[in-house]
Amino acid sequence: MKVARLYDYLDVRVEEEPVPHPGPGEALVRTRACGICSGDVVPWYIRKKAPLVFGHEPVGEIVEVGAGVTHVTPGTRVFVHHHAPCLTCRACRRGEFVQCPTWRATQIIPGGMAEYFLVPEINLAGDTLALPQTVSDEDGALVEPTACVVKSLTRAGQVADASVLIIGLGVMGQLHVVLARHLGARQVIGADLVATRCAHARALGADVVIDASNGDLAAQVADVTTGEGVEIVIVGPATIDALELGLRCVARGGTVVQFMGTPPEARLQLSTNDVYFREIRLVPSYSCGPIETRAALRYIEEGAVAARQVVTHRFPLAAAREAYRVAAEDRSAIKTLVTFGEA
Ligand SMILES: [Zn+2]
Ligand SMILES: [Zn+2]
C-alpha cells in the first residue's frame, strides 16, 4: 500500500509498505479521507515525532476484523480516533482522558495518511464511531478537529449568551466560530491577520471580524464591547504574544482558553495581581477524548458542522506532498483533506 511519511516540515514522501494484518481484537480499515491537522504543520512539534506516517483525522471502511471482534463488521464506515483512553485509570474516571497513559501510548498503525490502517483493540473498543449514512466521508474527517473545539468550548464555561473572541481564524478558529454561534453566544468576534480568513468567518456567522493587522487588537476589541472586553477568549496561535493579547482582551470574570501548545522553552509573564482581582481563568485545552468525539459526531449529524463550511482543498494521496505544502503555507486554505479513491 501507499503511505505518506513526514520526515520534516514540508518534507513528505509517498512510500510503499505492506498492508498490516489485524490480530485478535483489531480491525483493518481502508482509508477514504483524512484531514491535515494544524498540529501537523507546526515544525517543532512534528520534529519530535518525525519520521512518521502522519494523519490522525481519518475516515474509512472496515475491511477485515481479527478474532473476537463482534461489535463492528466489514463494510462499516467509521471515524477512528488515533488515541484512545483505558477508561479505568484515575485520569479517565475524572474525564481527563488525554492525561491517561494509555491514551498517550495508543495510535493507529501506521497512521491516517495510508491506504489502509490498523486499529488496535483499545482504539476499536474505546473511540471508533460508525458513521451514519447521512454523514459523508469529508464530514466524518471533521470529527476529531470538531471534538477538540467541543472540548475547548466546554472548558470555556457557559458559551450561551457570552461574548466570544476567537484569535486566529485557521480551520480551528472557523470551527470555533461555527460552534460558538450554534451554542448561542451573544456576540462572536473573530480576529486574524489574513483578510480572506476574516471574510470566511464572517460568512460562517461571526458578528464582527477584526483584521488584526489594522492596529492593536485589544483596542479594537474594546471598541466593539463598550470597553469591557470579551467573556471568553479562544487563543489559537501557539505563541506567548497571542496569549498576552488574549489576556488583554478578556473581560472581568472571563476565561482565556489556550488552544495550542507553545514551544517547550516558552514562558508567559503573568500579572497575578491582575488575574486575581479581575478573576481571569486561564485554561488549557489539549486535543480531545471519547466524550467529545461523540458530541462532535452529533453536531455533524445534525448539520451544525459540515465539511462544506471549511474544506477548501482536496488532494489524492499521491499528491500528499503538495497537500501538506498547501496546508502549511497557502493562506487561502482553511481545511485541506487527502481523499482516497474507491478500491
Ligand atoms: Zn487534529
Ligand atoms: Zn485511563
Residue range 308-337, pLDDT digits in tens? 999 999 999 999 999 999 999 999 999 999
The set of residues, in sequence order, having a beta carbon less than 8 Å from that of 298 and lying 6+ positions away, is none
Q: Which DSSP symbol is given to 34?
A: E
Ligand nearest to the CA of 41: 1
Which residues are 222's β-sheet partners?
A: none
What's the pLDDT at 341? 79
Quote the ligand 2 centre to 253 CA distance (angstroms).
33
Q: How would you label 114-150 residue by residue, b for 16+ Cβ within 10 Å and e otherwise? A: bbbbbbbbbbbebbbbebeeebbbbbbbbbbbbbbbb
Quote the ligand 1 centre to 10 CA distance (angstroms).
17
Quote the ligand 1 centre to 102 CA distance (angstroms).
18
Ligand nearest to the CA of 104: 2
The cell numbers describing 180, all together, are: 460558538
What's the pLDDT at 78? 98
Nearest-angstrom CA–CA distance, 31 and 9: 24
Q: Which DSSP symbol is given to 74?
A: T
pTM, entire model = 0.96
Nearest-angstrom CA–CA distance, 294 and 311: 21
What's the pLDDT at 342? 64
Closest CA to 116 of 67, 55, 39, 71: 55
Residues of the chain scoring pLDDT < 70: 342-343
What's the pLDDT at 84? 96
Task: Please write the tens of the pLDDT for every residue from 171-216.
Answer: 999 999 999 999 999 999 999 999 999 999 999 999 999 999 989 9
Quote the ligand 2 centre to 91 CA distance (angstroms).
6
What are the helix (H) ranges across 164-271? 171-182, 195-203, 217-224, 240-249
Which residues are 85's β-sheet partners?
A: none
Quote the ligand 2 centre to 102 CA distance (angstroms).
6
What is the chain's Cα-based Rg? 20
What's the pLDDT at 58? 97
Ligand nearest to the CA of 86: 2
